[in-house]
Amino acid sequence: MAPPTREQCLELDRHDPLASRREAFRLPEGLIYLDGNSLGALTVGAERSVARAVGAQWGVDLIRSWNVHGWIDYPATLGERVGRLIGAAPGETLVCDSTSVDLFKLAAAASLARGARTQIVTEAGNFPTDLHILQGLAKLLPQVEVLAVPRERIYEAIGTDTFLVVLTHVHYRTAEMFDLAEVSARAHAKGARVLWDLSHSVGAVPVDLRGAEADFAIGCTYKYLNGGPGAPAFLYVRRELQDGLMPVLSGWLGDARPFEFQDDYVPAPGVDRHRCGTPPVLAFAALDGALEAFDGVDMAQLRRKSVQLSSLFIELVEALPGAGALSLASPRDPARRGSHVSFAHADGYPLMQRLIARGVVGDFRAPDLLRFGFTPLYLRFVDVWDAVRILGEELAARPDDRPRDTPRLKVT
Amino acid sequence: MAPPTREQCLELDRHDPLASRREAFRLPEGLIYLDGNSLGALTVGAERSVARAVGAQWGVDLIRSWNVHGWIDYPATLGERVGRLIGAAPGETLVCDSTSVDLFKLAAAASLARGARTQIVTEAGNFPTDLHILQGLAKLLPQVEVLAVPRERIYEAIGTDTFLVVLTHVHYRTAEMFDLAEVSARAHAKGARVLWDLSHSVGAVPVDLRGAEADFAIGCTYKYLNGGPGAPAFLYVRRELQDGLMPVLSGWLGDARPFEFQDDYVPAPGVDRHRCGTPPVLAFAALDGALEAFDGVDMAQLRRKSVQLSSLFIELVEALPGAGALSLASPRDPARRGSHVSFAHADGYPLMQRLIARGVVGDFRAPDLLRFGFTPLYLRFVDVWDAVRILGEELAARPDDRPRDTPRLKVT
């Protein structure tokens, strides 16, 4: 069957129940932004919320804003709103610090409770910060060993020495997705806990942490949640485990009575004990506004559109005359794929630069991956069609057609 | 001699070389803000910088902003600018994370290099997060012990078992100041390193870390540096110690080649290895703009005005008819005092609420301290005079004159 025409894509957009969500975003005219899996786009809500936090709150109410504008409660209130998107119960999620710091916090706390167990199991090729942070913890605790194994050997690596399994739900390169419930069951069968990095899932893929009996989770909010560059991360601790999990980064705002200024740390009840220092309010304000774009969104509907967009992209790309130079690096089965798609191309870096120069923004991951993210809240089916048309033209172009000025994209 | 009159204070303002700096700030009309030691005021620069980072950078250039707008370099570039205010050489200061997290990072890294030494010495009654964070580290490392002793016993507590001394330069309650160079010398004589918390010093008190041979430092930027609520903290590592200090919170942006996405962490050269996760750019943008207020400021001149303001305040308060109810909790000797002044008052909490209701904003620290901060960049001598006049009226007021609606101030 012939791939959809541009007119058919426009027709899909006319019937897209999420189409109006695009109005919540400030997208530059003429740009097709397929990098929301790296940095989500600016929303009208975030822009308004930050301006208010700066001018009307900090500028006018100054120190009083901590209370009258709810700054001090931001980690908890935003935590609840993120928690609803990942299947958390109330009181299980906190927005704070960076993904790296939150991983350290939970992995260190878990190692306090490890008993005689010594191993953390993770995936080789996991996102670098996950591996690096675990390596740092093991440097501090010489009894702890980090075992990074290929995906197909993870189950056999989980043993009676394992106290923690740390995996990323959707892989940053391939978008390959783990089965949360199955991994939890396998780990629990060996007496190990599971910590999920949801950075490439949250806001794009339905996640049901409680349903999957996940123990811990972390993730970033600057990708599909559009929280802004370097927006604060979140952490999740299953309620049943909260009392037994003592923070190692025991900062004053995780104390039970921070404003009594006592010398001895007493952990706050529940997940709040994992707060640490004073939160960067302006970054929280951006996330606060950005999350408005998710108000009332049905995550199953969001997922349907995500799969439609990424499947359409694969179908159109593979129908291009020059498609032989590309090979799909993501799972073809949408049930095993997150919300981005990667294709390998021998000359991928300059090819991506040419796409960007023509207004199709994806990114490149060495050595050879072109990565394209599909954000259901602001992407249209016709955007996918237009992006693939431009990709086709660039695949067919001669090398000396390449643009000269190629800014290097860096951050995932 | 009679204390200065209001007219004499206005005269001091007319000759104040820093007077024009006030124009850099957006201060609410009629408010006398004596809480810049807790949350610094909004600057025109910060407001402009945040609006630009949101609208023109994130909103338009999206992911490319990491490079074209220098976001990825913010920890280093802002680190250099803060470093100039604390006597650091280039390449010794980084802006990142919170003060609590940065303290953990440096104390954990120092404990990797502790050899057979087991003790961290700190001050009882130090700011709670400093004590709590050290306690958390000791929980993870049972061989490490935290010894919190009264100020007058610190020197004797530093022994050949001590690997780290952690002190706050200016005390958050009393503003009492340590002698950086003397403490360093005492610690070094026993083979220990010193880590300074400069949260209540930076931007208000001249600090010469290199001159004092300090080893490590941390501090926050949301007090006298006016970086915004929960603005990112900074950390300092003396150049000579950098190669020997391995990060424990080894996040991907502290790796030598973060954009090669390698499994194994290789520390970046110098202080950069202490970067961790992705920085919250909007918070950095605020600090970026806020620091403009310090461009060209002579720190010795700033200190002179700070001492003049706080000394004037003490003189005027102690000349009040009701002054008998107050007792100075800060050092009377300005050479031993930072840039805030605390008075104890048996009924301090409601008294501070009444001051705030009348537009004189200080804060309260249990059980009985009224705390007033003096920010030389935006406070006028006449503000001090007017604040003390109102304090005098409130000291003389009957209890039933008290306002009913008293918002609770919380964050230091």
| DSSP, residue by residue, A205-260 | S---TTTTT--EEEE-SSSTT---TT---EEEE-HHHHTT---SS--GGGBSSGGG
Cβ contacts below 8 Å, chain A against chain B, sum to 319
Confidence of residue B27 (pLDDT cuts 50, 70, 90): very high
User: Would the pLDDT of A398 be above 70?
Assistant: no
User: Would the pLDDT of B411 be above 70?
Assistant: no
Q: Which residue of A has its CA nearest to B255?
A: A132
B258 near A CB under 8 A: yes
A405 near B CB under 8 A: no
Confidence of residue B401 (pLDDT cuts 50, 70, 90): low
Confidence of residue B404 (pLDDT cuts 50, 70, 90): very low
Distance CA A271, CA A384 (A): 41
Distance CA A344, CA A174 (A): 10
* Cβ contact A96:B234 at 8 Å: no
Q: What is the residue type of B139?
A: K
For residues A78-102, average pLDDT: 98
Q: What is the end-to-end Cα distance of chain A in Å, rounded?
A: 36
User: Would the pLDDT of A404 be above 60?
Assistant: no
Give CATH superfamily name and number for A6-43+298-401: Aspartate Aminotransferase, domain 1 (3.90.1150.10)
Under an 8 A CB cutoff, do B35 and A63 touch? yes
Q: Residue A411: what pLDDT?
A: 43
Distance CA B167, CA B196 (A): 5
Confidence of residue B407 (pLDDT cuts 50, 70, 90): very low
Q: What is the end-to-end Cα distance of chain B in Å, rounded?
A: 36
Distance CA B270, CA B339 (A): 32
Which segments of A52-189 does DSSP mark as H helices, in order?
65-68, 74-83, 99-112, 128-140, 154-157, 180-189
User: Would the pLDDT of B410 be above 90?
Assistant: no
User: Would the pLDDT of B156 be above 60?
Assistant: yes
Q: Mean pLDDT over all residues of chain A?
A: 95
For residues A212-226, average pLDDT: 98
**Percent of the residues in chain B that have a pLDDT greater than 90, as a whole number:** 95
User: Would the pLDDT of A410 be above 80?
Assistant: no
Distance CA B298, CA B39 (A): 22
User: Would the pLDDT of B233 be above 70?
Assistant: yes
For residues A159-173, average pLDDT: 98
Collect all residues of chain A within an 8 Å Cβ-Cβ radius of residue B140: 108, 111-112, 140-141, 248
Q: What angle do CA B104, B109, B114 make, to 5 degrees?
A: 120
Confidence of residue B207 (pLDDT cuts 50, 70, 90): very high
Confidence of residue B406 (pLDDT cuts 50, 70, 90): very low
Confidence of residue B408 (pLDDT cuts 50, 70, 90): very low
3-state secondary structure B158-216: CCCCEEEEEEECECCCCCEECCHHHHHHHHHHCCCEEEEECCCCCCCCCCCCCCCCCCE
- Token pair of A281, please? 């309010």
Collect all residues of chain A within an 8 Å Cβ-Cβ radius of residue B340: none
B127 tagged catalytic: yes
User: Would the pLDDT of B409 be above 70?
Assistant: no
Picking from B62, B224, B274 by the largest number of A CB atoms within 10 A of its own CB, the best residue to mutate is: B62
Q: Residue B258: what pLDDT?
A: 93
Select from B124, B278, B282 the Cβ nearest to the Cβ of A286.
Answer: B282
Confidence of residue B272 (pLDDT cuts 50, 70, 90): very high
Q: What is the residue type of A3?
A: P
User: Would the pLDDT of B288 be above 70?
Assistant: yes
For residues B322-328, average pLDDT: 96
A44 near B CB under 8 A: no
Distance CA A236, CA B312 (A): 51
Select from B133, B231, B365 the Cβ nearest to the Cβ of A280.
Answer: B231
* Assigned CATH topology for domain B70-294: Aspartate Aminotransferase; domain 2 (3.40.640)
Q: Mean pLDDT over all residues of chain B?
A: 95
Q: Report which DSSP code applies to A407.
A: P
A143 near B CB under 8 A: no
For residues B13-20, average pLDDT: 98
Confidence of residue B1 (pLDDT cuts 50, 70, 90): confident
pLDDT (tens digit per residue) in B373-395: 999 999 999 999 999 999 999 99
Distance CA A130, CA A127 (A): 6
Which of B83-87, B257-261, B363-367, B405-409 is predicted with the least confidence, judged by mean pLDDT? B405-409
A108 near B CB under 8 A: yes
- Token pair of B308, please? 């003049």
Distance from CA of A373 to the nearest CA of B (A): 12
Positions of A annotated as catalytic residues are 127, 197, 222-223, 371
Which of A273-287, A385-399, B290-304 is predicted with the least confidence, judged by mean pLDDT? A385-399
DSSP secondary structure string for all residues of B200-260: TTTTTS---TTTTT--EEEE-SSSTT---TT---EEEE-HHHHTT---SS--GGGBSSGGG
Torsion angle defined by CA atoms of residues B78, B81, B84 and B87, in that order, rounded to the nearest 10 degrees:
-10
Q: Residue A184: what pLDDT?
A: 97
Q: Residue A1: what pLDDT?
A: 77
Distance CA B347, CA B63 (A): 54
User: Would the pLDDT of B367 be above 50?
Assistant: yes
B224 tagged catalytic: no
Distance CA B51, CA A54 (A): 9
User: Would the pLDDT of B260 be above 80?
Assistant: yes
A26 near B CB under 8 A: yes
Q: How many CA atoms lie within 13 A of A178 on its CB side?
A: 32
- Token pair of B408, please? 């609770």
Q: Which residues of A105-140 are buried (b: 16+ CB within 10 A; e: fewer)?
A: bbbbbbbeebeebbbbbbbebbbbbbbbbbbbbbbb
Which of A237-241, A405-409, B28-32 is predicted with the least confidence, judged by mean pLDDT? A405-409
Under an 8 A CB cutoff, do B255 and A148 touch? no
Distance CA B53, CA B60 (A): 10
- Token pair of A73, please? 């409660």
User: Would the pLDDT of A401 be above 80?
Assistant: no
Select from A128, A136, A282 the Cβ nearest to the Cβ of B262.
Answer: A128
Residue from A263, A230, A6 nearest B253 by CA:
A230
Backbone angles phi, psi at B371, to 5 degrees: -120, 130
Spell out the domain ranges in chain B.
6-43+298-401, 70-294
B71 near A CB under 8 A: yes
Q: Residue B364: what pLDDT?
A: 96
User: Would the pLDDT of A409 be above 90?
Assistant: no
- Report yes or no for ipTM above 0.85: yes
